[in-house]
Structure 1
Amino acid sequence: MKKTLLLLAAITLIGMPATAFADTITFQAPATAPYAGSGGRNQVDLDHHRAYTWRIDNANLAGKQITGASITFHNISNWDRNANMLFIHLLDTAKNAGITSFADATGVPVPVQQIIDNFSGSLYNSNPLVNPGTGNTFLTMQSFTTNPTTFVYNFTAAQLQALTAYAATGNNIAFGFDPDCHFWNNGITFTVTTCDPVPEPMTLALLGTGLGGLYLKRRRRKQTTLGT
C-alpha cells in the first residue's frame, strides 16, 4: 500500500501545474477634513490649488508576487466644464502617512488656468511632500466631465514591476495626485492582487522524479530479496 501511494504521489507531482492562491487587498484612502465621514461628494478634497500624496503604511506586499493592481476614483466629476486634468503617480513612499497636501497655486484665481504636473520634472525635485530621489512612476492623466463616474485605472505590466520594486524597499507605498482643477469624488481605493511564490515546474518534476526513484529502488530491493 505504501508503495502504491509513493507511485501515485510521484505521478501527481510530475503532472501538477505550478499554481498559487490569489489574494486581493483593497486600501481605502482616508476622507479629508472637513468632509471625513460625511458621505458627501468631496470625500477626498482634490482641490485645484493643491497637490497631494496618499501614503499607505503596512501594505505588506514585500516578497509577494503582484499579479494585478488598480486605483479607483468613485463617482468622480469635474467641478466645471473646462478641460481640466488630474495627474496620477505611483511613488515609492511619501514623507507623511495618509493624505497630505501643499498649496501649489497660491494666489491664483479661480478657475485655475495652469495645467501643470507637480510630480514631474523640476517641480517634483522641489515637491515638499517627498524626499529628493524618491522613486516615481507616472500612471495616467485624466479629464472628467461634470457627470459623476467611477473611474478604474488598471496598472500596466511595467507599472506592476515598479510597484513590486517599491514594495520591496519598505512596508509602504504612496500615490501622488495633482488636480488642475477641482474634482468631486466619493472616495479613492487602491486594489492589489497577489499570490505567494510557488515552486517552478522543474522543481516539482525533480521532486516527483525523486519519489519515483525511491519507489523503484524499494521495488528492486524487494525483488532481490525474493530471488535469494
Structure 2
Amino acid sequence: MNKLLCSILLATSVSFAGLISTTDVTVDGVNTITKNYQFTPNPADLGDLSHDRATAWGISGVSLANGETVTGASLKIENLRNWELNEWNSLFIDLLWWAPEGVTTYKDQNMGYGYGKDDDYFVGKESEFGTVNLTRLNYNVFSGSDGMYANPSEGVTISLDGYKREGFNKIFPLYDVTIDFSDSELATLTSYLNDGNFGLGIDADCHFYNDGFNLSLTTQKTSDVPEPCSLSLMLIGLTSLGGAFVIKKRK
C-alpha cells in the first residue's frame, strides 16, 4: 500500500534523529542485539502547539532487521503549560502509520473547547495516517489554584516541574510529561516500521506551550547461538565432506 500525502500542508522541517548505542550480548546460547535511538523534532517544541493547527512529526532512521522488534518507546514533553489558567483544554497525541518526514503543520478548523470534546484532527483520517490514539491530556484548572492534568491514559506520568510567569499577573505551572508505550502500541509500532517510517500526530485544543519533545526507542533481536561442541561437530562434518569430494575427484 502506498503511503499517501495529506493535502492540507502548511510547513515542514527536518527532525534530528540517530542511533545512540548498540550492545551485542550472548548469554546461555542466546545472542541479543539491542539498539537505542533518540529523536528530537525541529523545532523541538513543534511550534508551541497553537489551537488552530495540528502537527504531524514524521520519523525515519530506524530500519528493522528480520526478527527485530521494538521493545520500548517513550515520548517526553518538557515543561508543558497551558496558555490559560481558567478553561478546559485538551492535547491529543496519536501514533501514525505514516507522516511526511520532519515536522508538518496542518490547518485545524475543527477546534474543540471544553472537557469531553472529541476534536482530534487525525481521527477520521485513517486512510492517510493510520491513526492509533495514544493518549489524551485534559487540562483542568478548576480543582486547584495550580491547575492539574486530569484523566491521563494508562502509561502517562505527569510531574510538576516549577512555575513560569507570563505577563504581569499570570503564573503558569510547568509539567513534565512522559508517555510510555503499551505492549500493544509497541507491536503496532513494530509493524509500522516494517512498512517504512512512522509518525506522531499532535493536536492541541487549545494552545499549549512547551520546551521540547523527545522520543526514545529501544529495539532488540535475539537468535540462538550453536554451542561450541555442536559447532565443532559441524566443522568436522564439513571437513569430512570436503575430503570425500577431493578423493572422489582424484579417482
Which bin holds the TM-score, normalised by the shorter protein?
A: 0.5 to 0.7
Q: Is the 8 A contact 2:88 2:113 kept in 1?
A: no
Residues 32-111 of structure 1: matches in 2 within 5 Å? Answer: 44-61=47-64, 63=66, 64-81=68-85, 82-94=87-99, 96-105=100-109
Residue aligned with 1:147, SS: strand
How many residue pairs end up in the alignment? Answer: 177
| 1:22 pairs with 2:47 | no
Q: Is the 8 A contact 2:122 2:129 kept in 1?
A: no
Distance change (3 Å), C-alpha of 1:211 and 1:59: closer
**1: distance between equivalents of 2:35 and 2:91?**
30
**2: distance between equivalents of 1:78 and 1:198?**
44
CA drift of 1:101 comes to 1.6
Question: Can you give the 5+ residue segments of structure 2 that lack an aligned partner in the other structure?
Answer: 1-25, 140-147, 149-171, 238-251
Structure 2 counterpart of 1:141, from 124, 132, 136: 136
Structure that is richer in helix per residue: 1
CA drift of 1:76 comes to 0.7
Q: Is the 8 A contact 1:71 1:190 kept in 2?
A: yes
**2: distance between equivalents of 1:192 and 1:99?**
18
Counterpart residue identity of residue 186, structure 1? D
What are the superposed Cα offsets for residues 58-109 of structure 1, whole Å, 9 maximum, x if unpaired?
2334543211001111111111132211111111111x32111222137x7x
Structure 2 counterpart of 1:150, from 173, 176, 191: 176
Structure that is richer in strand per residue: 2
**1: distance between equivalents of 2:203 and 2:28?**
48
Q: TM-score normalised to the size of structure 2? A: 0.61
2:230: which partner in 1? 210
What are the superposed Cα offsets for residues 118-168 of structure 1, whole Å, 9 maximum, x if unpaired?
222x3x25xxxxxx2542211111134441111110000000000000000
Residues 107-126 of structure 1: matches in 2 within 5 Å? Answer: 112-113=113-114, 115-120=118-123, 122=124, 124=125
Distance change (3 Å), C-alpha of 1:79 and 1:138: same
Residues 183-202 of structure 1: matches in 2 within 5 Å? Answer: 183-195=208-220, 197-200=221-224
CA drift of 1:210 comes to 2.3
- Which has the larger Rg? 1
What are the superposed Cα offsets for residues 174-199 of structure 1, whole Å, 9 maximum, x if unpaired?
1111111111101111100112x222
Q: Is the 8 A contact 2:78 2:177 kept in 1?
A: yes
Q: Is the 8 A contact 1:62 1:167 kept in 2?
A: no
Distance change (3 Å), C-alpha of 1:209 and 1:136: farther
Task: Give the alignment's Cα RMSD to 1 decimal.
Answer: 3.0
